Chain A
Amino acid sequence: MASLTEVRWHGRGGQGAKTASYILAVAAAEQGHLVQAFPEYGAERRGAPMKSYVRISDKPIRLRSGVPEPGIVVVLDSSLIGTENVAVGVPENGIILINGTMDAAEVKKRMGVPDSVKVGVVDATTIANEAIGRPIPNTPMLGALAKVSDIVTLEAAKAALRKTLGKKLSPAVLEGNNKAVDRAYEEVKLA
């Protein structure tokens, strides 16, 4: 892993981008890194586009601004691809992970990113619906992230999930989340 990894999440209010950022930060902290995770709100309303950021570093993180050049972008709602440039600032060796049903190669072409950028697509909403019973795509995306990047392992993602949501969720719902993380890890398609 690079000395500083920056992740930008694109989602809509209520999809859990903030929670997913937090769980990712907890997972990275469990792996011994320093972390910072913060949302960028407009007016805090459900359904409105929002961004959330995670910085993972081995040096103290003092920077307070957003992430203009994220090594990793996670898109929780593929309808955002048409309305904003989710790929902006992603470097040539970057990763873009999308919750959707489209073909990874096709969406890569549509976004106009260089071929060297890794694009992953996983149907996290369907996975969440089937495994958890609610269309909240944030936790399965952590499983997909474990597959396509080296910032978090599958085990660390699940441990962080347990640590952060274990007390809030019933054992059955937590188990559903775990299954969703595993399924997304298996099902993510890369281009």
Chain B
Amino acid sequence: MPETKPMEGNHAVAEAMRQINPDVMAAYPITPSTEIVQTFSSFVANGLVDTNFVVVESEHSAMSACTAAAVAGGRVMNATSSQGLALMWEILYITASLRAPVILTVVNRALSGNINIHCDHSDSYGARDTGWLQIFGENVQEGYDNLIQAVRIGEALDVRLPVMNCLDGFLVSHSYELLQVEDDQAVKDFVGPYQAVNPLLDLSNPISVGPLDLWDYYFEHKRSQLDAYGPAKEAIIEVGKEFGKTFGREYGLFEEFMLEDAEYAVIALGSAAGTAKDAVEALRADGMKAGLLKLRAYRPFPAVEIAAALKGKKAVAIFDRAASYGADSFPLFSEVTSGLYTAGQLIPAVNILYGLGGREIIPDQIISVFRTLPSVAATGQPVDPVQYVGVRE
């Protein structure tokens, strides 16, 4: 039976994994995602799942084992953070290139140096171009819901790509919230059984995986991989709709919060979107037509859909929780404004860098950003769009 109970973010992810019962998990624990691995390993030890839990000596080995297990034909999961994801980097490209739908929960944490265990999005951003899909959640419920949907999205026949289920470290991973835990069988029915395409262990149909691929065919293989990201967008929408029909919580490429009639909008990923909702409501009560676009799918990036949702806005502020060193602006800003330009919508936009290494963001700071937007709208696109919020200068 479905049940609502207080649960910590990491436990909610482990709970979804228990219900999904993947074939293989190969993991090396790291703060703040440790408890996913720890809790799930106790499910394995107690016989609650049939998963083959592979104990490895590093994240590089973990992702190597996961990729190999997925290519062999298994449904495979893993969890990591920060340096752990960085150490997987070489293999991440291979996982996506081999079209192996591994599901990896990334509990977002800053990258060293200096050493920091708290939240920002440097780790996920660093893996942006690896070919993995990236879906960001705002709260504990979304961490649970997104993991269940990720299975269907990644395994869709015209997609077959690995998926990162991104959640803010500590802010969500260590937060207790009321979680709607769905019925075990309902979750199993939703994800369905898994049949890999061309599994390596299908001995009657032997194949080679990952052979040498030089100038004569590599480009064609990459070109065909690029064709999977449009269907991935469709899969995110369709699976999100079906999830809504089944469990009552519908998802899309992004969430619009008071956005439709808004004059000024903020765009953000992850838990800061929750704080931004409080800011938007406060501003609405004060007479400003404020709105929020909470991005859920960062890869594939819904540039066209975002531009359509922002049409007619007077000015927007795009929040990045990680820098791109040496760039004129930061990743989310660059991609949203590129989409706006391509759509022929030159909406004045500012880029807010916030929250690095777990620095807190509060509603008043987001409200202050909104308050600057009317003058941005009046004066037009600033030459230097970058502003820093919450840093000592």
Contact = CB atoms under 8 A, between A and B. Distances in A.
A44 B174 CA distance: 12
B263 to A, nearest CB: 22
Contacts of B138: 62
A36 B117 contact: no
Interface in B249-275: 271-272, 274-275
B6 A63 contact: no
Contacts of B345: none
A68 B117 CA distance: 22
A35 B177 contact: yes
Contact of A62 (B168, B277, B361, B362): B277
A41 B6 CA distance: 20
Contacts of B361: 64-65
A36 B179 CA distance: 11
A36 B175 contact: yes
A38 B360 contact: no
A25 B176 CA distance: 8
Given A25-B6, A64-B275, A65-B361, A38 B176 contact: yes
A68 B364 CA distance: 12
Nearest to B138: A62
A55 to B, nearest CB: 10
Interface in A32-52: 34-39, 41, 43-44
Contact of B274 (A22, A64, A66): A64
B171 interface: yes
A178 interface: no
Interface residues of A, number: 21
A64 B355 CA distance: 12
> Which of B31, B117, B177, B278 has the most chain A CB within a 10 Å cutoff?
B177
B363 interface: yes
Contacts of B209: none
A63 B363 contact: yes
B309 interface: no
A139 interface: no
Chain B interface residue bracket vs A: 20 to 34
B178 A64 contact: no
Contacts of A62: 138-139, 274-275, 277-278
A43 B115 CA distance: 10
A138 B284 CA distance: 41
Given A37-B6, A44-B117, A63 B275 contact: yes
A53 to B, nearest CB: 9
Contact of B6 (A29, A44, A64): A29
Given A22-B6, A29-B6, A38 B175 contact: yes
Given A62-B277, A63-B275, A38 B362 contact: no
A157 to B, nearest CB: 14
Interface in A2-48: 21-22, 25-26, 29, 34-39, 41, 43-44
B275 A65 contact: yes
A88 interface: no
A61 interface: yes
B274 A44 contact: no
B171 A38 contact: yes
A39 B73 CA distance: 40
A26 B176 CA distance: 9
B140 to A, nearest CB: 9
A29 B5 contact: yes
Interface string B151-187: 0000000000000000010111011111000000000
Interface string A121-154: 0000000000000000000000000000000000
Contacts of B174: 38-39, 41
Contacts of A68: 362
A63 to B, nearest CB: 5
Contacts of A29: 5-6, 178
Contact of B176 (A35, A43, A64, A65): A35
Which of A35, A64, A66 has the most chain B CB atoms inside 10 A of its CB? A64
Interface in B358-388: 360-363
Nearest to A39: B174
A41 B117 contact: yes
Contacts of A34: 178
Given A21-B176, A35-B6, A39-B174, 11 more contacts: A35-B178, A36-B175, A38-B170, A38-B174, A41-B118, A41-B174, A64-B271, A64-B274, A64-B275, A65-B275, A65-B363
7 contacts: A29-B178, A35-B6, A38-B175, A43-B117, A64-B271, A64-B274, A65-B361
Give the 9 A-B CB pairs with smallest separation, nearest first.
Answer: A62-B274, A38-B175, A37-B176, A65-B362, A64-B271, A62-B277, A64-B275, A25-B6, A65-B360
